[in-house]
């Protein structure tokens, strides 16, 4: 049994069909319970500098919604429950039609918390830190609009890993191993692990295999290009980077606590089901 929350913040995404409707229904259900406080909010209104007064966050949408809410949940050290309205949805674990069952379980304290590792990324230019951000899925250094590979001098701690000539490099968490990293040929890791996965994107005449690193490693990527390159966090926060810039990625000190209602081995059956869905979509 887990402590029952009594203050909820329900985020919805206007770009996802029925997101606001489901969020409003959840909000009414919670407000109908004595002693509970619940508020809905547009995902676009989410402010990472705000101090939200909540014991649990709910993300009603798909993977993108869950990523945005998950980062703020980790910052608040507040658990997050995902209601899946997306087509596949690896991150939100509760199907749309099961939200009432999920809420009932939560209000009984009948749920577990599953800590998910985040990564922390820094952008260093001429010795100055320009960006310091956390990501739940991955941090990516990639080429810009021009279809030209970039050179990425990549180290693990102080040891050279590879001088990639590639479209980019992905550094993902175990949670992110089923996302962009997987599409680039990376391995799938169970989300409870604490590893970094380094995966090159379309490497040219350089090491093409992914490398799985321990939690304590720091990945340093120095960009060598005469063209535009991009630093991306969770595919949502993007910054233009340039020749000589340095990106450092390590395991974050923060966790994102996912609310889990399923059996501890749910990941493998869910993975099989979702991969089958994606396979059918491509037929």
- Please write the tens of the pLDDT for every residue from 256-268: 999 999 887 888 8
C-alpha to C-alpha distance for 109 and 105, rounded to whole angstroms: 6
Tell me if 7-111+261-281 shares its fold with 118-253. Answer: no
pLDDT range class, residue 282, cuts 50, 70, 90: very low
- CA 39-44-50 angle, 5° bins: 65
pLDDT above 80 (res 283): no
Beta-strand pair 56-61/7-12 = parallel
pLDDT range class, residue 276, cuts 50, 70, 90: low
Share of the chain above pLDDT 70, in %: 97
Handedness of CA 162, 163, 167, 171 (dihedral sign): positive
SS (H, E, C) the chain: CCCCCCEEEEEECCCCCCHHHHHHHHHHHHHCCCCCEEEEEEHHHCCCCCCCCCCEEEEEECHHHHHHHHHHHHHHCCCEEEEECCCCCCCCCEEHHHHHHHHHHHHCCCCEEEEEEEEEEEEEECCEEEEEEEECCEEEEEECCCCCCEEEEEEECCEEEEEEEECEEEEECCHHHHCHHHHCCCCCCCCCCCEEEEEEECCCCCCCCCEEEECCCEEEEEEECCCCEEEEECCCEEEEECCCCEEEEEEEEEEEEEEECCCCCHHHHHHHHHHHHHHHHCC
- Specify the pTM: 0.93
pLDDT range class, residue 280, cuts 50, 70, 90: very low
Catalytic residues: 63
Stretch 119-138: mean pLDDT = 98
**Residue 206: predicted pLDDT:** 80
pLDDT above 70 (res 277): no
Stretch 23-34: mean pLDDT = 96
- Is the CB of residue 76 less than 8 Å from the CB of residue 107? no
Stretch 244-259: mean pLDDT = 98
Return the domain boundaries, the chain.
7-111+261-281, 118-253
pLDDT above 70 (res 150): yes
pLDDT above 80 (res 248): yes
C-alpha to C-alpha distance for 208 and 200, rounded to whole angstroms: 6
CATH code, residues 7-111+261-281? 3.40.50.10330
Stretch 136-157: mean pLDDT = 96
Q: Which CATH architecture has domain 118-253?
A: Sandwich (2.60)
């Amino acid at each position: 049994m887990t402590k029952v929350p009594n203050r909820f913040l329900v985020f919805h995404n206007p770009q996802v069909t029925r997101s606001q409707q489901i969020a409003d229904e959840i909000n009414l259900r919670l407000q109908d319970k004595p002693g509970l406080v619940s508020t809905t909010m547009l995902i676009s209104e989410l402010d990472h500098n705000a101090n939200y007064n909540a014991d649990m966050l709910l993300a009603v949408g798909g993977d993108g919604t869950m990523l945005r809410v998950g980062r703020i949940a980790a910052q608040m050290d507040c658990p997050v429950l995902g209601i899946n309205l997306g087509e596949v949805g690896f991150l939100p674990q509760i199907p749309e039609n099961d939200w009432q069952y999920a809420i009932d379980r939560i209000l009984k304290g009948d749920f577990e918390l599953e800590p998910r590792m985040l990564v922390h990324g820094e952008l260093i230019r001429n010795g100055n830190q320009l960006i310091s951000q956390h990501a739940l899925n991955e941090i990516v250094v990639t080429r810009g609009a021009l279809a030209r590979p970039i050179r990425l001098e990549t180290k693990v701690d102080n040891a050279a890993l590879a001088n990639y000539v590639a479209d980019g490099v992905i550094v993902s968490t175990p949670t992110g191993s089923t996302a962009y990293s997987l599409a680039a040929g990376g391995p799938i890791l169970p989300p409870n692990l604490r590893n970094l996965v380094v995966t090159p994107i379309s490497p040219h005449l350089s090491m093409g295999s992914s490398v799985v690193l321990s939690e304590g490693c720091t990945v340093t990527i120095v960009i060598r290009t005469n063209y535009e390159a991009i630093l991306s966090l969770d595919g949502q926060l993007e910054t233009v980077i340039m020749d000589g810039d340095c990106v450092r990625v390590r395991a974050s000190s923060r966790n994102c606590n996912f609310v889990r209602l399923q059996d501890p081995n749910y990941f493998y059956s869910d993975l099989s089901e979702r991969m089958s869905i994606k396979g059918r979509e491509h037929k």
